[in-house]
């Protein structure tokens, strides 16, 4: 209950009662709120006062440290229960061999990322092995990068992505949404509905572990929609693919096949464009995704090292 009634104040660096945030909304709205949240829309004090009780509750849920959101679970109808990933083998339950489907379910979550910096720092004081600390750091999930919006063609909506490699923006040649992404049903064209429906039926039978364990064998379906690269203005086809998970990041990625193994395999399989944007010739032992080399085919980033290009790209996008 304490977590539910608190939010994280980024200025104070600690949790504070949600009542204080409500007071701020009543006086100033949320435009200058110093809080960690998933709230996207801004509102004024006048707009807040006009909200219904349910609308206010929905907004506050985006700020609370303990909050409810829809997540996807492995549901087994025959067993009448939710199964963990390690209880599923080849798309069926380990016990009884029953079919599994992905099902939306309201769940409680904790806004762990609000405390990411503190959690990571405190790992230094814990007597654990480096391997265990690395595993814990990955679970905490603090990432530095850029939030970007790709406007959908012939639509007033955009696809939000978060990338740790904004320097590769000119190498983005398509977008991939998680099959469960909210936009899939809205943007799929009539011509692609049958193919998308068949693909969704396939992914519903797959556990997250199965979906992310495949590296060389990738699958997907084209939605028929296109989004515009916010920097280059190029139109990018929007696909769905099981290697993108709804609950990881924004549930959408900008695919850069020249710099990511899965994106590369996906592009090769579906004959999508591959644009080289990082020259790694001076680093013969480097691989896709390694942050070394100089930028090419990247407009204002050309000639910069990857490290400097990341900083420059973030500056350009802010």
Tell me the C-alpha distance between 283 and 281, whole Å. 5
**Please, what's the b/e burial string for 242-261 (b: 16 or more CB within 10 A of its CB; e: otherwise)?**
bbbbbeebbbbbbbbbbbbe
Residue carrying the six token digits 């989004």: 227
CA angle 259/262/266 to nearest 5° reads: 105
Q: pLDDT value at position 215?
A: 61
The DSSP element (H or E) to which 105 belongs, if any, is strand 101-110
Q: pLDDT value at position 38?
A: 84
Count of all residues that appear for the chain in the document: 318
Q: For each of the chain's 318 residues, which pLDDT tens digit applies?
A: 789 999 999 888 889 999 999 999 999 999 888 888 888 789 999 999 999 999 999 999 999 999 998 888 889 999 999 998 788 887 789 899 999 888 888 888 888 878 877 888 888 888 888 777 777 776 776 667 788 999 999 999 999 998 989 999 999 999 999 999 999 999 999 999 999 999 999 998 887 777 877 666 899 999 999 999 999 999 999 999 999 988 777 899 999 999 999 999 999 999 999 999 999 999 988 888 888 999 999 999 999 999 999 999 988 876
Q: pLDDT value at position 249?
A: 78
Q: pLDDT value at position 214?
A: 66
Q: pLDDT value at position 36?
A: 85
Q: pLDDT value at position 143?
A: 64
| Domains of the chain from N-terminus onward | 6-64 (no CATH), 68-110 (no CATH), 115-142 (no CATH), 146-317 (3.90.740.10)
pTM > 0.85: yes or no: no
């Amino acid at each position: 209950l304490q977590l539910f009634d608190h939010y994280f104040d980024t200025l104070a660096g600690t949790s504070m009662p949600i009542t204080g945030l409500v007071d701020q909304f009543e006086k100033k709205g949320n435009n200058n709120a110093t809080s960690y949240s998933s709230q996207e829309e801004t509102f004024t004090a006048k707009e807040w006062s006009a909200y219904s009780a349910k609308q206010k509750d929905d907004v506050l849920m985006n700020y609370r440290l303990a909050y409810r959101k829809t997540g996807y679970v492995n549901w087994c109808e025959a067993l009448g229960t939710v199964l963990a990933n390690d209880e599923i083998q080849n798309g069926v339950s380990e016990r009884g061999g029953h079919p599994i489907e992905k099902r939306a379910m309201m769940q409680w979550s904790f806004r762990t990322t609000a405390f990411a910096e503190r959690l990571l720092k405190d790992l230094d004081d814990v007597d654990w092995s480096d391997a265990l600390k690395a595993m814990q750091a990955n679970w905490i999930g603090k990432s530095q990068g850029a939030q970007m919006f790709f406007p959908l063609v012939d639509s007033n909506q955009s696809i939000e992505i978060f990338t740790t490699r904004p320097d590769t923006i000119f190498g983005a040649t398509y977008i991939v949404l998680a099959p469960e992404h909210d936009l899939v049903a809205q943007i799929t064209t009539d011509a692609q509905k049958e193919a998308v429906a068949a693909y969704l039926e396939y992914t519903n039978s797959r556990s997250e572990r199965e979906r992310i364990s495949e590296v060389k064998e990738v699958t997907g379906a084209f939605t028929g929609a296109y989004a515009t690269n916010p920097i280059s203005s190029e139109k990018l086809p929007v696909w769905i693919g099981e290697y993108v998970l709804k609950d990881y990041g924004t549930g959408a990625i900008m695919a850069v096949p020249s710099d990511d193994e899965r994106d590369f395999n996906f592009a090769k399989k579906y004959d999508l464009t591959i644009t080289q944007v990082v020259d790694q010739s001076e680093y013969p032992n480097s691989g896709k995704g390694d942050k070394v080399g100089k930028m090419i085919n990247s407009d204002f980033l050309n000639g910069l090292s990857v490290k400097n290009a990341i900083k420059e790209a973030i500056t350009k996008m802010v």
